[in-house]
Structure 1
């Protein structure tokens, strides 16, 4: 026992490293227990990961054992020898013999969780010490380019990551872990109804094209005024929140197994106006009647009943105007810590302020889109940001928007994983109404209006993980509601556009 403890502390030669909180013996004994009885891994997997071990060799041993156990293969000193015999760190500790010594020094199974918790707590303390030193060093270094407010936001971001994931800076990860995560995502999609890898939008045709809203993705939803981009965003946000169901996720933690908790930044409309739109959709009472209070008794009853049903809906609205991107990120982190967060909506991108003033609007928008993408990756959620389009759409005969129509399109197009455009041809056709004396043109116009009525199109102009194309949706303007378009001619399978 004394020999193995001495060998285990050997690699840590730096004085600072030696003073960091750690317990090599606890790491050795827990690893020994796992190599002796693989079932112990299941008891500690929810507490620690390879990154929590102080000795990097111990981390690699744990990671290799974890990979084998997850494949229902045996992890023992004999089976791990083939994977680790060329490991230079293990060679310093005595090579494969060290694995045998670990198994010989194992603890009893009932103490495994206590040892795992101790290793995790010590890892958190080391991370906290690192963050504290970093904060102190940056605060002591008086630099014009580093504002105190920015340092506070950065510190909050690091502390959030530490609280959520048990580490403040992930750095490089092994390809083994990346492959395992990819397989887990694919398995979750395979097990889920409809085969969606992401959160369902509640619109089946759109889900087929996107595969749902994927974690860590930035999705841009753009359109000209009156196209209905805010309506579509609120519809999708409401659908996700309405479908929310909590339970055990495939990775064994508590979370959303269906739908999700939604955060909605409404920088243009007030929270009350946004809620009225959602209630209009849920109660099927025209939004203008809700606004005027001009409802029949039956409509008012439906409105009140819908409001009662939606009270527990996990949809959180922040209508603070002109939020800086740093504040937007900080509030999103806080929401995830307090209530959970599975999808974030921003209405709309051009109303978000950069953290610091830039010399050009293009640079400001670039900082905002990069910030939104960073939020998506950090919180591991889809971020849907609405965006305006430039007026050049109106100058073309074909009013369908395209990527070049995005305002400050370079950064938006580059940073986004998905770019979608809302297009309602009915809106433009309505403005082409001929005079009453032009009977032939009027008849043609009426026929075209009838064909276009209640229809909308979502054009996917960019998708990093899938095909581009168009999705037809229904649109009920009086309820500001998008829905699936019934197509009797279309088969149940997916359609190529």
Structure 2
């Protein structure tokens, strides 16, 4: 069958790939005429952007001579190609003079280069489209979401102006690495990566670097008595306290299924209070609810009303395994239906609430995002699978304006609080910080959104709160396998977008079995691969959360337990829970 006999649909595949030979000649001719043109063109084009192989060879020779500091003109390039045995492949020395004569001036080289680049992008798009079509036809039962994700990655690579080559010789990598070393030296010790907002941590890490996966981990907060609208995580997803029935499963303190064995009737019309703990947890309880607290070493049962009347004293609740929590505020709220459940694990604890599982490492991650976006104008994305966008915004405003978070929540802000808030509102609102609180986000959705933010807003930091709340929606061998896949995917996302990715994670109860209560990397919950994939692991530890008389009250340790590109150390910061933030220690 001749070409003329092909059906219209078949002719589409017989088309010559997009290219512009005169523009390629104009680029090379300008480079042979002017060193300045070479400097301009190399910022735009790579060797593979040329369609004609002879032009790729000439371009490589020009770059080699220019890189050595030698002149690159028709005579020197002819000599270089002769030495390489490639002069005949480009059409001989006369063709080099033809290139020069094809351009009236070297000043147009940059314009021609952009035309060549556009044609190169179109060729890559055609090639990518062909591969995507093949993916669709050759799926063979593969997951459609995975194929879609691969297709998105292929198109994103074009948008990022990357070469289609998967491998690069060391000779091509070396100049870029040396340039980076020189650039670091020329900064005079100034930070290279995305700042964390903590001076000692930045000094240790030199900021958070592109391609890094950083894991921030802490123990989860836990709750008992709650209002009916409180969200409760279960093995099947989210439910509410009001919807739970005897026999249902919730998650215990370590995230494992535990069964509800008893539940009170719903209680209406009772005077209610919000009880706020030192770890940020807030529990709604009625006025007569009983608490076993310790005051000045004396343990007794006290009602919510009694605690509210004696807040000038320090009320401490001893949790399981020596965990200590202080009551920092009790404030009246409008009456809500309340209820309690009992579960069948030994400590009778279960995880609750979007904004309360976990609390401390969410605060630290928000501090990182604040430092990047509000203080330094770098675009960051905060993907929250547990806190709502309004809760996150309130915490940001509390931290930035130094207005107590509980005053915002309870409507008790004073005039000076409103003044401080007004001063910071504009800067916070204009910060390039994007918050996504979409429920049940999958890894594919997070990657797609991050790619779009990278393309449209020059994304510099990604925060995911938190790893154990992610779901794939697929049947997997075990939860550990699923979390391992998420961990690996986040590392690949960091490399693909060339941004640091912070993943919040939970610790198991290992720290509470130790005398000093300090966490270790081995305490990371559900997956040892989190440690393997992470470039940096930061473990959060507060001594006063376990020891009520600790002389280090108000201090927190950021334990850099793993640092692939540098030393490990412990950085001490101050915890200001009422402002929902960590800050540098006063010098």
TM-score range, shorter chain: 0.7 to 0.9
Distance 1:406 1:286, change over 3 A: same
The match for 1:34 among 31, 36, 39 is 31
The TM-score normalised by the length of structure 2 is 0.69
Q: What is the rounded CA distance, in whole Å, between the counterparts of 1:237 and 1:210 in structure 2?
A: 16
The residue that corresponds to 1:160 in the other structure is 156
Contact 1:354/1:367, CA 8 A, preserved across alignment: no
Q: What is the rounded CA distance, in whole Å, between the counterparts of 1:62 and 1:355 in structure 2?
A: 49
> After superposition, what is the alpha-carbon deviation per residue over 1:251-290, rounded to whole angstroms, capped at 9, x for unaligned?
xxxxxxxx51011101110011111111111111111221
Matching of residues 104-253 of structure 1 within 5 Å: 108-147=105-144, 149-165=145-161, 167=163, 169-192=164-187, 194-225=189-220, 226=279, 228-244=360-376
Distance 1:323 1:238, change over 3 A: same
Contact 2:54/2:90, CA 8 A, preserved across alignment: no
SS at 1:19's partner residue?
A: coil
Q: Does 1:348 align with 2:472?
A: no
Q: Does 1:472 align with 2:567?
A: no
> After superposition, what is the alpha-carbon deviation per residue over 1:47-101, rounded to whole angstroms, capped at 9, x for unaligned?
3222312245533543553465467553345655787656566664367786666
Q: Does 1:360 align with 2:469?
A: no
The residue that corresponds to 2:306 in the other structure is none
Residue 337 of structure 1: how far off its partner (Å): 2.2
Contact 1:220/1:420, CA 8 A, preserved across alignment: yes
Residue 193 of structure 1: how far off its partner (Å): 6.3
Larger deviation, residues 30-39 vs 51-60: 51-60
- Indicate the structure (1 or 2) with the bigger Cα radius of gyration: 2
Which consecutive unaligned segments of at least 5 residues does structure 1 have?
A: 1-15, 245-258, 431-444, 488-497
SS at 1:457's partner residue?
A: strand
Distance 1:224 1:22, change over 3 A: same
Contact 1:474/1:483, CA 8 A, preserved across alignment: yes
Residue 372 of structure 1: how far off its partner (Å): 0.8
Matching of residues 33-432 of structure 1 within 5 Å: 33-56=30-53, 58-59=55-56, 61-63=58-60, 65-66=62-63, 69=66, 73-76=70-73, 87=84, 92-93=89-90, 102=99, 108-147=105-144, 149-165=145-161, 167=163, 169-192=164-187, 194-225=189-220, 226=279, 228-244=360-376, 259-354=377-472, 356-430=474-548
Residue 194 of structure 1: how far off its partner (Å): 3.9
Q: What is the rounded CA distance, in whole Å, between the counterparts of 1:142 and 1:229 in structure 2?
A: 41
SS at 1:316's partner residue?
A: strand
Distance 1:275 1:63, change over 3 A: farther
Aligned residues: 438
Contact 1:240/1:260, CA 8 A, preserved across alignment: yes
Which consecutive unaligned segments of at least 5 residues does structure 2 have?
A: 1-12, 221-278, 280-358
Distance 1:459 1:141, change over 3 A: same
SS at 1:65's partner residue?
A: helix
Residue 186 of structure 1: how far off its partner (Å): 2.9
Q: CA RMSD in A?
A: 2.7
